[in-house]
């Protein structure tokens, strides 16, 4: 079961650079859920398996690219897995 918001949340879409608003009745995509870090924005407690879906270090480039996008990190077509991992680390530390 997907997590639900307890309130309305607005943030910038990482690709379109447009403001997007999600509410309690909306399905929140992974890229947005990764950016909504205030626990009060969510209904109930965060399930342990949804706390951080960070790929394993040897995961595919595609897995790291998806994770990076969910964290709002831009990924270029020419970036390899290690480039993406470094960009995620820089953006989230």
93 residues of the chain, pLDDT tens digit each: 467 899 999 999 888 889 999 999 998 888 888 888 888 899 876 554 455 678 888 888 988 998 898 888 999 999 999 999 999 888 876
pLDDT for 81: 93
Residue found under tokens 């309130």:
7
List, in order, residues 6 or more apart from 9 with CB less than 8 Å away: 21, 22, 23, 32, 36, 41
Q: What is the distance between the alpha carbons of residues 59 and 68, in angstroms, rounded to a whole number?
A: 13
Say whether pTM exceeds 0.75.
no
* The two structure tokens encoding residue 69: 């996008």
Centre a 10 Å sphere on the Cβ of residue 81 and count the other Cβ atoms it contains. 17
């Amino acid at each position: 079961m997907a997590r639900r918001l307890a309130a309305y949340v607005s943030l910038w879409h990482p690709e379109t650079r447009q403001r997007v608003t999600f509410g309690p009745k909306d399905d929140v995509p992974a890229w947005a859920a990764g950016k909504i870090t205030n626990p009060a924005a969510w209904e109930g407690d965060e399930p342990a398996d949804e706390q951080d879906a960070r790929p394993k270090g040897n995961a595919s480039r595609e897995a790291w690219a998806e994770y990076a996008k969910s964290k709002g990190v831009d990924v270029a077509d020419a970036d390899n897995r290690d480039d993406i991992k470094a960009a995620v680390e820089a953006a989230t530390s």
